[in-house]
Amino acid sequence: MKYYYILVILFCFSCGKEKSIQLPEISKSNIHDIKDVSPAYLFYDESEKDSIELNRKNLISTTNWLVNVDKRLTLKQAIPSIIKLQEKKRDAKMHKNEAAKNYFTCNDKSVKNLGFIEFTDVIYHNGIDKSIVEHHSIYDLTSTSELSHTISLLFKENDSISINSELTTKAHFLERLRFMDSVQNKMMGLIYLKFNENLTFQDYITFKSMLLELKLKHSVIANDEYIFN
């Protein structure tokens, strides 16, 4: 199935049910064409801002899933439904396709068409795991004798970001991560992403797409993501 056809599906669904979805926007995606897909929709209700509606009637477990989330929803609203979708696919016992993946549908401004961000292996957690011990500094990495270290990247409200408890900005956090990676030598770093539950899905997708730009040699972004209040 081509992405053009998906645009038609979204339009017809919106017209037929008098519902619409404002997809999150990204500057650039590396994924534009996905075949053999099933769509799911998470709607935002302007009249009842605390409500959310999940439509998953057309999901087929053996296909790639395109999850269309309204960008105005908060993570507190959207993530529980996304977890349910993940569990539905992971728990499928019959007609399971291990090669099938999950994607968020986005508006790719670079091509003025749809783009996709994969989240197949992401595991969402409520709260922050206190067993994750951060390295004490984002700069003093060469003095440690450890073979590995942990980086916690917290995305808060109003574009406030911290790396291992040290504040940075949306404009500079990628630069700092690249610097940390460059001075690590043989040490391996594991980066945990933690998002405030009041961030919108647009905020979440923006940060995720920015992180996809990173080309790190010594660090890996963990599949575990934490949603905190």
Per-residue pLDDT tens for 148-165? 678 899 999 999 999 988
- pTM, rounded to two decimals: 0.86
Averaged pLDDT, 215-226: 90
CA distance 161 to 225: 15
CA distance 226 to 193: 6
Q: Which helix (H) or strand (E) holds 209?
A: helix 201-211
The residue from 94, 120, 146 where one domain ends is 120
Q: Is the pLDDT of residue 108 over 80?
A: yes
> Are both 138 and 66 inside the same structural domain?
no
Mapped onto helix, strand or coil, the DSSP state of residue 164 is: coil
Note down the domain range covering 8.
Answer: 3-120
CA quadruple 122, 23, 78, 61: dihedral positive or negative? negative
Q: Which helix (H) or strand (E) holds 125?
A: strand 123-126
> Are both 80 and 156 inside the same structural domain?
no
User: Per mean pLDDT, which range of 84-93, 129-138, 162-171, 175-184 is the poorest?
Assistant: 129-138
For the chain, how many structural domains are there in total?
Answer: 2
The residue from 74, 102, 120 where one domain ends is 120
> Are both 105 and 36 inside the same structural domain?
yes
> Are both 101 and 178 inside the same structural domain?
no
Closest residue by Cα to residue 207 from 219, 225, 220:
225
> Are both 110 and 162 inside the same structural domain?
no
> Are both 92 and 138 inside the same structural domain?
no
Describe the crossing of helices 201-211 and 75-90 by its angle, rounded to 10 degrees.
70
> Are both 64 and 137 inside the same structural domain?
no
> Are both 155 and 205 inside the same structural domain?
yes
The residue from 68, 91, 120 where one domain ends is 120
Whole-number Cα distances in Å, 73 to 50, 56, 58, 76, 221? 9, 17, 22, 8, 25
> Are both 17 and 91 inside the same structural domain?
yes
Whole-number Cα distances in Å, 25 to 64, 126, 171? 21, 25, 18
CA quadruple 222, 128, 72, 101: dihedral positive or negative? positive
> Are both 36 and 76 inside the same structural domain?
yes
Averaged pLDDT, 210-221: 89
> Are both 114 and 89 inside the same structural domain?
yes
User: Per mean pLDDT, which range of 5-14, 21-30, 70-79, 160-169 is the poorest?
Assistant: 5-14
> Are both 113 and 161 inside the same structural domain?
no
Q: Which amino acid belongs to residue 96? A: K
